[in-house]
Amino acid sequence: MARSYQELLAEAREVIPEITVAELAESVSADPGTLHIIDVREQSEWDEGYVPGSVHVPRGFLESRIAGVVGPDEPLVLVCAGGHRSLLAGQTLRNMGFSNVSSLVGGFTRWKQSGQDVAVPRTLSGDQRSRYSRHLLIPEVGEAGQLKLLDSKVLMIGAGGLGSPAAYYLAAAGVGTIGLVDDDVVDASNLQRQIIHTTDRVGMLKGESAKIAIEALNPDVQVNVHATRVTRENVLELIAGYDLIVDGADNFPTRYLLADASLMTGTPLVHASILRFEGHASVFMPHDGPCYRCLFPEPPPPALAPSCGEAGVLGVLCGVMGNIQANEAIKVLLGIGDTLAGRLLVYDALGMTFTELKVRRDPNCPACGPDATLEFRDYEAWCAGPHANPVGVST
Amino acid sequence: MSTVRIPPVLRPAVGGARELSVEGATVGEVLESIYSDHPEVRAQLVTDGGELHRFVNIYLNDEDVRMLDWLDTPVEDRDTLLILPAMAGGASASPAHP
Ligand SMILES: [Zn+2]
């Protein structure tokens, strides 16, 4: 025999205890975290606000998702808009063996009317949902991850061979703030690999040129142009406020300076370097893994450290290595996967081989060892070496 | 014979080869064998005092020989030795030293 909606509710009320707004509020403040609050409303209702501390499990997914949220013997209270859907949801959970289920009388509407605190979720806009839809489909990213990327600030050293692809892809991925440190202007000889720049922007400051490209690609991204070289005097100020550094520098003094500054500020450093057909990449997590100077305690003399300006570089190699940096940066920002921390990836584009080398923390490391004193050396002089001429032009 | 991978900056010193097949039972013997065939390599990697420069990393397969027995580390046939100096390249065309 068919039963009416009212009869279903009445049956549910017989088995599911109801609690009032005042009781829920008291229970939450007396014993925070013990009582699980499950909100079974639809997405659009949840987006308008919810009881602080509650977890959103829409009614349509209740049976399939509840096990991942709360155990069958844990106390939980169900919340909907007015207190009816939550009663019926409660009966479903009782049938599934959940023993300690109650329902909020009057639902979220009464909670809000009673003047209780309301949390409003940060959500992506409709445009962002569409732009980042392929990220939202990945469980490891999803909406929470995408919001995290939008809140992230990455400092890109160099808007050149590595910086072009790295910054471009990070911008496409929705990294919300990208700082570009480069004091150079776009030259025609850059365009073989520095794909963020264009022929009609030759002569423009690289940071400004890259900013035009990034803003055209993704208006969500705030671009800060730092038209300066990295020096002992400005490195800490440059890094302040950024979550991560991507090192696309073209010279050893800058690389060693960044390595020290990364340790001083606790800012992760995503490393890559390139020459001809060969690329190196790694990730340096300050005091949690090896640092750049655990790997290379000292820079080679200029004779063994030619720049790309002297030795040349395959343009495509920059794309491969810069994108490996973007990939690692996103993983560090999201806290997912296994990064290159503790490993050096050596890519030989000519032989098409990827070789992984172990990088260990050096207990005697002059930068991150227990006896290390962190201070900025005069890297310009140090890298130039005792018998060296200036390094000359690079990349 | 083990295989020794030569980094781009050292290739001119070995006639352009990307890899060499070298005899030697230890890392030190392999390096000595390379030096005797290509004296320019010794000039680039070894200090006046006969030590390897600190900026040179030598890997046996995927492990830094500093973590093994340094130059005494035994080398088997089919092992790969990799000579790895740091590389600086990456960004723009600005002078490194203005
Ligand atoms: Zn270190």
CATH of the domain at A313: 3.40.50.720
Residue B91 lies in a domain: no
pTM of the predicted protein model: 0.78
**In terms of domains, do A164 and A239 share one?**
yes
Distance B81 CA to ligand 1 centre (A): 23
Instruction: Say what the pLDDT of residue A377 is.
Output: 79
Residue B10 lies in a domain: yes
Q: Tell me the angle at which helices A142-151 and A315-334 cross, rounded to the nearest 10 degrees.
A: 110
A119 within some domain: no
What is the pLDDT averaged over residues A247-270? 94
In the predicted structure, residue A390 carries a pLDDT above the cut 70? no
d(CA A57, CA A70): 11
What's the domain range around A351?
152-382
Q: How confident is the model at residue B92 (pLDDT cuts 50, 70, 90)?
A: very low
Residue B98 lies in a domain: no
> Which amino acid is located at A201 in the chain?
R
Does residue A163 share a domain with residue A60?
no
CB contact under 8 A, B96 and A247: no
Residue A143 lies in a domain: no
Catalytic residue among A80, A291, A294, A308: A308
State yes or no: pLDDT of A308 exceeds 90: no
Are both A173 and A45 inside the same structural domain? no
Using 50, 70 and 90 to split pLDDT, how confident is the model at A393? very low
- Among residues A113, A144, A178, the one where a domain terminates is A113
Quote the pLDDT of residue A153: 98
Q: What is the dihedral of CA A129, A135, A138, A139, to 10 degrees?
A: -60
Q: Which residues of chain B does A299 touch, with a Cβ-Cβ cutoff of 8 Å?
A: 55, 86, 88
What are B's interface residues with A at a Cβ cutoff of 8 A?
5, 7-10, 18, 44, 53-57, 59, 62-64, 66-67, 82, 84-98
Q: Which residues contact A311 (CB under 8 A, 6 or more apart)?
A: A275, A276, B8, B9, B89
Q: Do residues A77 and A173 share a domain?
A: no
Share of chain A above pLDDT 90, in %: 81
Kindly state whether residue A147 falls inside one of the protein's structural domains.
Answer: no
**Quick check: A395 and B56 CB within 8 A?**
no
- Tell me: the pLDDT tens digits for A117-157? 999 888 899 999 999 999 999 999 999 999 999 999 999 99
* A156 lies in the same domain as A97: no
Rounded CA separation A113/A111 (Å): 6
Residue A55 · residue A37 · CB < 8 Å: yes
Which positions in chain B touch A308 (Cβ < 8 Å)?
89-90
Give yes or no for a contact between A147 and A122, defined as CB atoms under 8 angstroms apart: yes
Please tell me whether residues A213 and A339 are part of one structural domain: yes
Contacting residues of A for B4, CB less than 8 Å apart = none
Same domain (yes/no): A157, A68: no
Tell me the two tokens of residue A318. Answer: 């920059």
Q: Measured between CB atoms, does A293 come within 8 Å of chain B?
A: no
Q: Looking at residue A389, what is its pLDDT?
A: 35
B97, part of any domain: no
A160 touches chain B (CB under 8 A): yes
Tens-digit pLDDT profile for residues A311-333: 789 999 999 999 999 999 999 99
pLDDT in tens, A155-180: 999 999 999 999 999 999 999 999 99
Domain assignment of residue B93, yes or no = no
CATH of the domain at B34: 3.10.20.30
Please give, rounded to a whole number of angstroms, the shortest distance from the CA of A391 to a CA of chain B: 6
Q: How many domains is chain A partitioned into structurally?
A: 2
Supply the CATH number for residue A85's domain: 3.40.250.10
Domain span holding position B49: 2-85
Does one domain contain both A226 and A274?
Answer: yes
Distance of alpha carbon A330 from alpha carbon A340, whole angstroms: 12
Report yes or no on A142 lying in a domain: no
CA-based nearest residue in chain B for residue A391: B96
Give a three-class secondary structure readout of A103-155: EECCHHHHHHHCCCCCECCCCCCHHHHHHCHHHHCCCCCHHHHHHHHHHCEEE
Handedness of CA A312, A317, A322, A324 (dihedral sign): negative
Domain tally, chain B: 1
pLDDT, tens digit, for every residue of A95-109?
Answer: 999 999 999 999 999
Is A38 among the domain residues? yes
| Domain co-membership, A238 together with A108 | no
Higher local confidence (pLDDT), A2 or A192? A192
Instruction: With beta carbons under 8 A apart, name residues in chain A contacting B66.
Output: 362
Q: Does A301 touch chain B (CB under 8 A)?
A: yes
* CB within 8 Å of A10: residues ≥ 6 apart: none
Query: Can you give the pLDDT at residue A385?
Result: 61
What's the pLDDT score for residue A383?
Answer: 73
Residues A244 and A300 in one domain: yes
Flag whether pLDDT at B86 surpasses 90. Answer: no
* Pairing state between β A177-181 and A222-226: parallel
Residues A237 and A330 in one domain: yes
3-state secondary structure of A351: coil
- Entry field: residues in chain A: 395
A120 within some domain = no
pLDDT, tens digit (0-9, with 9 covering 90-100), for B27-38: 999 999 999 999
Beta-carbon contacts below 8 Å between A and B: 167
Question: Residue A136 domain-assigned?
Answer: no
